[in-house]
Amino acid sequence: MSLWLTAIILGIVEGLTEFLPVSSTGHLILATELLGYDAARWAVFNIAIQPGAILAIVVLYRRLFREMIVGFFRRDPVAIAFVRNLLLAFLPAVVLGLAFGDYIEALLENAVVVAWALVIGGVAILLVERFAKPVDSGGVAALTTRQSIIVGLVQCIAMIPGVSRSGATIMGAMALGIDRKTAAEFSFFLALPTLTGATVLQLAKHHESITRNDLGLIALGAFVSFIVAWAVIKAFLAVVTRYGFGPFAWYRIIVGAAALVWLALR
C-alpha cells in the first residue's frame, strides 16, 4: 500500500476517533497493525497528525475562544475562570507526561494493551452511565477548582493507549456530577493544550529521524484529520444528548474483544 494512502487512512481514523470516547491512539495502533506496518515506525506520525484534529476545535469554537481571550485580558471573571480551569486540568498531564514519557512511548507499540484498554474502558463507561447523576453545571467556567483538578488527574489515565483521553475526561467529569454537554466541551477544550504539548514533545524528541517526505505525510494526515474531525464534532453532542455514551461503550467492548481474538490467532 502507498505511504500516501496509508497517511490518508490514518488521518481519517484520527479525525473520526480523537474526540469520541473510543481512543484515537488505540485505533491508530490497531490500524497500523492491520495494515502490517511497524508500530514504532508510525508512532510519531500518529501523534504528529493530532494538530489537524485540534484545529477543528479551534475553528468550531472560534467565537467562544475569541471571547475568552479578550475577556481574560479585560479581567472578566468568567474568562479568567475558564482559563484557570483549563490550566488546572492540564497541569497533571504535564507532570506525569514528563515523568513517565519513555514508558508511555513504549506502550504505543503494544496492540494487546490497546485491546484490553478498549474493553475495560467500555465497561467503565457503562458503569458511569448507570450510576452517575450529572446535573446542569453552567459551562466550563462554572466548574470548581476541585472538579478541574480531578478531571485533569483522570485524563492522565489516558496515557495508557486504548483508554481514550476524551472518554476518561468525560466520564471523570460525569462521575463528579457534571452534565454531559459541559463534560464533552471540557474534554474538547482540554485537548488543545494536552495534544499540542504531546505533539511538540514527540517532534522535539524525534526530529532527527523525521525526513522531508515524512513532513509531507504528516501534513496530509493532519489535513485529513481536520476535515473528518470537524464533521464528527458537529454531530457528537447531538448524538450524546439523545443516546448517551452507551453506544460508544458497546463499540469499544466489541472492537477490543475482536482485536484480542485477532491478535491471538494471527
Q: Tens digit of pLDDT for each residue in 68-96?
A: 999 999 999 999 999 999 999 999 988 88
Q: State residue 26 phi and psi, 5-degree precision.
A: -60, -45
pLDDT band at 101 (very low <50, low <70, confident <90, very high): low
Based on C-alpha coordinates, what's the Rg of the chain?
A: 18
C-alpha cell at 123: 465497561
In whole angstroms, give the CA distance from residue 102 to residue 48: 17
> Structure pTM?
0.84
Neighbours of 135 (CB within 10 A): 9
Q: State residue 178 phi and psi, 5-degree precision.
A: -85, 135
- The Cβ-side half-sphere exposure at 126, using a 13 Å CA radius, reads 12
Q: Which of 46, 45, 51, 57 is nearest to 19 (CA)?
A: 57
Lowest-confidence range among 80-89, 99-108, 132-141, 218-227? 99-108
C-alpha pair distances (Å), 25 with each of 68, 76, 115, 168: 30, 37, 11, 13
Residue 159 or residue 260, greater confidence: 260
